[in-house]
Amino acid sequence: MIKTQNNKAWFLVLPVLVLVAFSAVLPLMTVVNYAVNDTFGNNQFFWVGLEWFEEMVTSSRLHDALGRQILFSAIILAIEVPLGIYIALNMPKSGFWASFCLVLMSLPLLIPFNVVGTIWQIFGRVDIGLLGHTLAALGFDYNYTNDPFDAWMTVIVMDVWHWTSLVALLAYAGLQSIPQAYYQAARIDQASRWAVFRYIELPKMKGVLLIAILLRFMDSFMIYTEPFVVTGGGPGNSTTFLSIDLVKMAIGQFDLGPAAAFSLMYFLVILLVSWVFFTVMTNLDRQESK
């Protein structure tokens, strides 16, 4: 087959390039600008090279925030993925209750982030919150504003409440796409419930689970609004995740240089992790089909 070569087709890509340039690349460049300069206002910039980056790489404050961030993402992934799968497996497959569950499951996803934060902020309060008050009445010494452990628990439970639905819905979609014949064959072959899950359901859900894990990782790694509304990063710095720390640094302290360097590295870390994750998973796929 002879293909016509016509480089004019590149012009068709131009509008997108321009749009992306104005919406993403140029704003990013201002961040790059801040990251390699120091400024005392007045639009006067002094070249500092990689000084801010060096400062940030060695900053224990950033290390701590990164540590908390990784711990947080790991915990919520470890809870939300299995829980989401478990819920999806137990959701009705058809009929009224299937639709009912779908609507019910999507409700948390529809609530704006800051509202979720506000809901839990109030829910957890010991004086007027249903959760906080009940726990206190039951004799638990629960107070998310004083106790780092309680603060973590609250933030994690809130995230699980908010986002497990996403994993569940994706897993449910994966499950629904499995033809009935597979389950029938498994019954003929006398497969156990575990074997059905391990050899039929899990492999068929792999694609959507990959998306779910990737989305949940990226989202949780960038989390800002909900913990900010609930704990404001406290008590102390115990729930100060990367985004919260970044905003504190940039807007609270107006350390624009270090904050810019920080956010660039932050961006690269997310990009890197997502890329590694994606490559590993697609390679696994390719190996399997060999």
- For the chain, strand residue ranges (E) read 37-39, 45-47
7 binds another protein (CB under 8 A): no
* Polymer length in residues for the chain: 290
Closer Cβ to another protein, 58 or 287, answer by number: 287
113 binds another protein (CB under 8 A): no
How far is residue 174 from each of residues 11, 12, 209, measured CA to CA in Å? 39, 36, 8
268 binds another protein (CB under 8 A): no
197 binds another protein (CB under 8 A): no
Which part of the chain contacts another protein (CB under 8 A), choosing from 17-25, 27-35, 147-155, 179-187?
179-187
Closer Cβ to another protein, 63 or 187, answer by number: 187
198-214 in b/e form (b: 16+ CB < 10 A) is eebbeebbeebbbebbe
Which of 50, 203, 278, 283 binds another protein (CB under 8 A)? It is 203
Which part of the chain contacts another protein (CB under 8 A), choosing from 37-45, 136-144, 190-198, 255-263?
190-198
Distance of closest approach, residue 287 Cβ to another protein, in angstroms: 8
What secondary structure does DSSP assign to 113-159, as a single string?
HHHHHHHHHHHT-TTT-HHHHHHHHTT----TTT-HHHHHHHHHHHH
Q: Which residues are near another protein by CB under 8 A? A: 179, 181-182, 184-185, 187-192, 195, 199-200, 203-204, 288-290
